[in-house]
Amino acid sequence: MLDGEDKLIAQAIRGKASAFGSLYDYYQPKIYRFVLIKVGRREDAEDLTHQVFLAALESMKSYKDMGYPFSSWLYRIARNQVIDFYRTNKKEASIEETEPDFFVAPAIAHFGVEGKMEMEKVQLAIQKLKPEYQDVVIMRFVEDLPIKEVADSLGKSEGAVKLLQHRAIRELKKILVQA
């Protein structure tokens, strides 16, 4: 969570562009990484990330704090943008066109060649999961979001997210063993 986030959100709701800009600066890399893993192409991810923040800006005046983190609202918008993207484009994403460094969180970006090769293997496996499993795996293990925030973003209970996470990990293990 961003320091002073509540104040920035209140200012952004009132139309202060610099407040929304601060929120954008903080959340854009996280939303971009989420979208990139889902769509696989940098250009599409950039476009969709811009659409996410444009939609957020347009909806900012109607944003109400319902006890969920602001990021949950952004991830929900991002998820919906990705769903719309696949509905309208109906094309397959190609993970081969994506640079692996765009997938990794800063904490793991320092891995050597062997570590990066393992990450690529995991990324390919994630792409084979059902979209709902992808969402949970990315939010929990790439973005390191708590279960509550993932549940808020997906509109599910914490128990449902735990179950999805368990199933996703089990499925991911199967895919990785076959690879």
Please report, for the domain that includes residue 26, its CATH number: 1.10.1740.10
Answer for the pair 44, 84: CB distance below 8 angstroms, yes or no: no
Q: Which domain holds residue 176?
A: 104-179
The reply to whether 19 and 83 lie within a common domain is: yes
Question: Which of 41, 73, 93 finishes a domain?
Answer: 93
Asked if the structure places residue 85 within a domain, the reply is yes
Burial profile 105-141: b = 16 or more Cβ within 10 angstroms, e = fewer:
eeeeeeeeeeebeebbebbebbbbbeeebbbbbbbbb
* Whole-Å CA distances, 49 to 29, 46, 99, 142, 175: 9, 5, 17, 17, 29
Residue 99 belongs to some domain of the structure: no
Among 36-45, 91-100, 120-129, the least confident range: 91-100
Shared domain for 2 and 87, answered yes or no, is yes
Indicate if 76 and 143 belong to the same structural domain.
no
Residues 88 and 131 in one domain: no
Whether residues 79 and 143 share a domain: the answer is: no
Residues 86, 2, single domain; the answer is yes
Q: CATH number, domain at 118?
A: 1.10.10.10
Map residue 132 onto helix, strand or coil: helix
Residues 112 and 87 reside in one and the same domain: no
Q: Which pTM does this prediction carry?
A: 0.73
Question: Is residue 71 domain-resident?
Answer: yes
Query: What's the number of domains the chain is made of?
Result: 2
Range list of H helices, 40-157:
42-59, 70-89, 113-127, 131-137, 147-154
How far apart CA 34 and CA 38 sit, in angstroms, is 6
What integer pLDDT is reported at residue 66 of this predicted model? 84
In a domain, 39, yes or no: yes
Residue with more model confidence, 57 or 91: 57
What is the average pLDDT across 126-138?
91
Asked, for residue 79, whether it belongs to a domain, the answer is yes
Instruction: Write down which residue in 52, 68, 93 finishes a domain.
Output: 93
- Regarding whether 162 and 126 lie in a shared domain, the answer is yes
- What pLDDT digit, counting tens, does each position of 7-25 carry? 999 999 999 999 999 999 9
Q: What is the mean pLDDT of residues 75-96?
A: 78
Residues 6+ apart with CB under 8 A from 158: 147, 148, 151
